Amino acid sequence: MASDQATTPPPPPLPEIQSHDLSQVIVLHPPPVFNYFMDLFSKKFHLLKAWESPLPLHEFLTNHAHSAQAMLCSGTGPSISADIIRLLPSLRLVATTSAGLNHIDLTECRNRGISIANAGEAFSEDVADLAVGLLIDVFRKVSASDRYVRHGLWATKGDYPLGSKLGGKRIGIVGLGSIGFQVAKRLEAFGCNISYNSRKRKDFVSYPFYTNVCELAANSDVLIICCGLTEQTRHMINREVLLALGKEGVIVNIGRGAIIHEKELVQCLVQGEIGGAGLDVFENEPDVPKELFELDNVVLAPHMAVFTTESFKDLCDLMIGNLEAFFSKKPLLSPVMNE
C-alpha cells in the first residue's frame, strides 16, 4: 500500500563553481607537476594559461595586469624577469615548484613587495636518495655493468672489472641545506666521513667545515653539489677544484648544471684527471655534452631527482596550500621572501 505521507523532494544540487568565481593564478608555462595533478589546481583556482593563449606573451600579461595577484612557475619554464614582473602591477605572490630560485628576479620582487614561496623541503629526501644512488652507481659500476650484460660481453669477455667500496670514503658536501643534510645522513649510514662547505657554518652538525671549496675537494674522495645556483656559485666548481679532487675523485651534481664549469669537467673526465661523475643536471639542458656518452665512469640522469609520485603529490599539496593561504591572507606554508 502506498504511503499517505508526502515524500520530501530532494534538495536542489549545489551550484557548480565556475572558473571565473575562483581566484586567478597566472601560469606562463606548465610546471612538470601539471602533467599529473593539474586537475587539482584547476578545481581550486582559475588558471590563466599563457601557453594556451594565441596572444603574444606581453599582450596576454597586459590583459591580466590588474587582476592577477599570484603566479605559479617552475625552474623549467621561462624566467620570471623584471620585464615580466613590471607587466603585472597587481602581482603579490610568485610560487615556484622548484627549490631553487635562480629563474626569478629576486631584486625586482623585493622592490615591489612580492612574496615568494618555493618547494621548501618537499623534494629533499628524494633528491638525496638519487644523489646517493648516482654515487653508488659510479663506484660499483651498476649502469656500466648492466650495459656489459645486455651487450652479451659477460659470456665473451668474462667478469666485469672491479668497482670501489662506498664505506669509509671522505664525502665533501657543497651546500649543507635541507638536501645536503639529507645526503649527509644517508652517507653516514654507509660509514662515510662527512665534511662540507656552505655559506656559513651550521651549528647543528659537527662535520668539519671548509670555507674554501678547493680545500674541501683536496680533502675529499667525493664532492656532492647540493647548493643553489647564484652569481656566486656559477662555475664555482672549475678545473682548479676538480684537479684538487684528484684522479680517483668522483663528483655528483644534483644542484644546478651551471654550478660546475661543464667544459672543464668534460675535459677532466676525458683526460682521466678525475675518477668519475654522477650528473642529474647540466649547463644547457636538455643538451648534454656528447663526450660523456662514451665514458663508463660517468652516470647520467635527465634532471629527474625530484621525479617521484610521492614528491609530486607532496609538492601539489604544498603549492595549493601556499596559494590558498595567500588568497586567505594567512601565512605562506613555505615562504622564501615575504613582502
Active site residues: 256, 285, 303
Phi, psi of 70, deg, nearest 5: -135, 145
Task: Select from 314, 319, 176 the least CA-distant residue to 255.
Answer: 176
Task: Select from 113, 94, 46, 149 the least CA-distant residue to 334.
Answer: 94
**339: how many CB neighbours lie within 10 A of its CB?**
11
Q: CA 68 to CA 64: how far, in whole Å?
A: 6
SS3 190: coil
Q: CA 185 to CA 321: how far, in whole Å?
A: 29
Indicate the helix (H) or strand (E) that contains 13. none
Q: CA 135 to CA 253: how far, in whole Å?
A: 10
| Residue 242 in grid coordinates | 676538480
Task: Select from 102, 110, 97 the least CA-distant residue to 25.
Answer: 97
Q: Environment class of residue 209 by beta-carbon count within 10 Å: exposed (0-12), middle (13-18) or buried (19+)?
A: middle
- What single-letter amino acid sits at 107? T
Q: CA 42 to CA 318: how far, in whole Å?
A: 15
Q: CA 253 to CA 285: how far, in whole Å?
A: 14
DSSP lists the bridge partners of residue 115 as 93
- What single-letter amino acid sits at 320? I
Does residue 10 have a cis bond before it (omega within 30 degrees)?
A: no
